[in-house]
Amino acid sequence: MKQIFTVTVESIPADGLSINTEWDTRVADEIVQQDACEFKICSALYLDLSFSLLGEKVILDGRLKTRIEITCVGCLSEFTQPLEINFHYLLWPQSAAVYEAEKELQRDDLEVGYFQGEVIELQSIVREQMYLAVPQNPHCKEGCLGLCPACGANLNKNRCTCSVTAGKTDSPFTVLQKLKK
């Protein structure tokens, strides 16, 4: 499958344009790693895109599919997670953009994007969609036990004896209990 990174508006026929493309792992990861991010792409990125014209605007419906490597916030182990994202944009030519000092965003405004000249850059759209889809507090599994607060052992892999006693003696409520007596 060919790697396609841009689409020209003039290449979109009146009845629409469908594109299926695959970006190899290295290229997809480079696009995302332009910013400091908390994940790494670990499989090819598949894009299924359809473009249609609405006057000078372009309607983009897309689907993105890949796998990312991310760190669990509970136990700090790395794990892979699939990402499947459906997205919709109404793309305006940059010259049609009306700039306002302050404006309250409406729901429809969140699906609006802009393209410059006659070229639609897919990289920024893909990057944005991936950042929006990555969980803020990823967990390696439901019910992740995390790390032992006393020794730091991964409780998903090992049980430790200090975790039982640490919870009883180091609890701030235990200290308050002693103060009460």
DSSP string of 14-82, one letter each residue: TT-EEEEEEE-HHHHHHHHTTS--SEEE-S-EEEEEEEEEETTEEEEEEEEEEEEEEE-TTT--EEEEE
Q: What is the pLDDT of residue 139?
A: 94
Task: Supply the mean pLDDT for the chain.
Answer: 82
Q: Is 181 exposed, middle or buried (0-12, 13-18, 19+ CB in 10 A)?
A: exposed
The pLDDT of residue 168 is above 70: no
Give yes or no for a contact between 113 and 89, defined as CB atoms under 8 angstroms apart.
yes
Q: What is the pLDDT of residue 88?
A: 94
Phi and psi torsions of 96, nearest 5° = -85, -5
Mean per-residue pLDDT for 49-68?
Answer: 93
pTM, two decimals, is: 0.73
Q: What is the pLDDT of residue 110?
A: 53
Residue 71 CA from chain centroid, whole number: 13
Q: 109-164 pLDDT, tens per residue?
A: 457 787 878 889 888 899 889 888 988 899 999 999 998 888 888 899 888 877 45
The pLDDT of residue 3 is above 70: yes
pLDDT class of 36 with cuts at 50, 70, 90 = low
pLDDT class of 105 with cuts at 50, 70, 90 = very low
Residue 52 CA from chain centroid, whole number: 25
SS3 174: helix
Q: What is the pLDDT of residue 18?
A: 94
The position carrying tokens 């990555």 is: 134
The pLDDT of residue 103 is above 60: no
Give yes or no for a contact between 71 and 38, defined as CB atoms under 8 angstroms apart.
yes
User: Is 80 or 36 the better-scoring residue by pLDDT?
Assistant: 80
Q: 60-102 pLDDT, tens per residue?
A: 999 999 999 999 999 999 999 999 999 999 988 876 555 555 5
Q: Determine how β-strand 112-115 pairs with β-strand 78-93.
A: parallel
List the domain boundaries for the chain: 6-133, 145-181
Q: What is the pLDDT of residue 99?
A: 55
